[in-house]
């Protein structure tokens, strides 16, 4: 096993991302995912937030349920696109009131696509948002980072420069967009260090649950899907072959990152726990019993 070579002390801290459910069936799927992954002892889990607050109530409900029932540290996502300053800060206050200690602060994408347009009464962007959150002095603030050029990046070094501004504004650390070539992340990490960034930069890792759907998403966010992945998944004849390949690729990616000194990994679960669980198991992450809170009544 991987940890037999590295030693258990070298295992990274793990975190997971979930998204809020839209239907009762999706709620069951989310809780199934949480039950499956919580015994892996994540450092924290995050719950995403729709543009303009479109999932505000569902995000907060999911956060409370995960925290109270699974006893996990939950970070709430928060975006500022399409909302006033008061609306955004009201959400932040509500997070604080339910005991949330961490926020993933993001600008957010413009609904319908196109360039970001600040709300007339809103934040000018992520840096402005981070400064306001930092003034509250209530949260550990995580931000996004882009190892490959963001679709709106004007220069090759724009993403590093923007990350530096976010860290200087009060962010604790960054979680990256997913990527598949580790050299991409390592070059970005080196460039960040050279720019004076000493905050943690956590690789965002995506076990591929559906290759075709992933490629479409990657195209929208500027993530390169290597040719060898197209060939490998093209040769996967069954769903079982696909999943086995996905776990093997993702586990190898994570193991290489750990060997390069990465001590944290953030896995995007898509609310489907089996592949993230198998990847963590392959890395040697051990499970502990999950203490589920008793229901009231």
Question: Which of the residues are catalytic?
Answer: 17
Which phi and psi (to 5°) does residue 34 adopt? -65, -45
Whose tokens are 């995403």? That residue is 48
Tokens 């999706």 identify what position? 26
Phi, psi of 15 (to 5 degrees): -135, 160
Please answer whether residues 46 and 15 qualify as being in contact, where contact means their C-beta atoms are separated by less than 8 angstroms: yes
- To which residue do tokens 């679960």 refer? 269
Distance CA 190, CA 209 (A): 30
């Amino acid at each position: 096993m991987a940890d037999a070579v590295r030693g258990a002390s070298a295992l990274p801290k793990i975190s997971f991302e979930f998204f809020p459910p839209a239907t009762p069936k999706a709620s069951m799927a989310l809780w199934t995912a949480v039950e499956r992954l919580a015994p892996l002892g994540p450092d924290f889990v995050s719950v995403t937030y729709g543009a303009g607050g479109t999932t505000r109530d569902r995000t907060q409900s999911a956060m409370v349920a995960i925290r109270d029932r699974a006893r996990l540290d939950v970070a709430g996502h928060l975006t500022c696109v399409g909302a006033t300053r008061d609306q955004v800060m009201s959400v932040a206050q509500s997070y604080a009131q339910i005991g949330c200690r961490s926020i993933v602060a993001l600008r957010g994408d413009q609904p319908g696509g196109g360039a970001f347009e600040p709300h007339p009464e809103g934040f000018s962007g992520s840096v402005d948002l981070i400064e306001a959150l930092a003034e509250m002095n209530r949260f550990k603030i995580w931000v996004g980072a882009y190892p490959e050029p963001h679709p709106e990046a004007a220069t090759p070094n724009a993403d590093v420069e923007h990350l530096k501004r976010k860290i200087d504004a009060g962010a604790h650390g960054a979680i990256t967009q997913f990527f598949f070539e580790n050299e991409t992340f390592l070059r970005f990490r080196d460039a960040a260090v050279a720019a004076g960034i000493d905050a943690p930069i956590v690789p965002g890792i995506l076990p591929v649950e559906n290759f075709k759907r992933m490629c479409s998403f990657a195209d929208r966010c500027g993530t390169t899907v290597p040719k060898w992945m197209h060939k490998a998944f093209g040769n996967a004849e069954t769903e079982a072959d696909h999943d086995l390949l996905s776990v093997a690729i993702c586990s190898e990616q994570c193991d290489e990152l750990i060997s390069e000194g990465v001590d944290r990994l953030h896995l995007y679960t898509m609310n489907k726990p089996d592949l993230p669980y198998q990847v963590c198991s392959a890395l040697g992450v051990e499970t502990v019993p999950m203490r589920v809170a008793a229901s009231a009544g």
